[in-house]
Amino acid sequence: MSAFYILFAETCVEDYVAPGAEIETVRDACAADAWQFLSREPLHVPLAEDSGTLFPDFLMAGNGAIPLASPRMTAVLTAAGVKDYDLWRQPVYLEDAELGVSERYELILPPAIPALDLARSTLQERAYDGTVIRTAEDIVIDSAAVGRLQYFRLRDVTNTELIITEHLKEALTAARLENVHFSALKDQEA
The CA-based diameter of the chain, rounded to the nearest angstrom, is 57
Report pLDDT for 188. Answer: 58
Q: b or e along 61-97 (b: 16 or more beta carbons within 10 Å of the residue's beta carbon)?
A: bbebbbbbbbeebbebbeebebeeebbbbbebbbbbe
What would the pLDDT profile of 80-121 be if each residue is shown by its tens digit? 999 988 999 999 999 988 888 899 999 999 999 999 998 899
What would the pLDDT profile of 8-41 be if each residue is shown by its tens digit? 998 887 788 777 777 777 888 888 877 777 888 9
Q: Where exactly are the structural domains of the chain?
A: 11-109, 112-184
Task: Give the CA distances from residue 33 to residues 65, 110, 152, 166, 174, in Å, rounded to whole numbers and listed in that order.
Answer: 9, 8, 11, 23, 29
- The pTM of this model reads 0.89
Q: Are 81 and 150 in contact (CB under 8 A)?
A: yes
Report pLDDT for 29. Answer: 82
Beta bridge partners of 136: 123
Which of 62 and 182 is assigned the larger pLDDT? 182
What would the pLDDT profile of 147-182 be if each residue is shown by its tens digit? 999 999 999 888 889 999 999 999 999 999 999 999
Residue type, 93: Y
pLDDT at 189 over 60: no
Beta bridge partners of 56: none
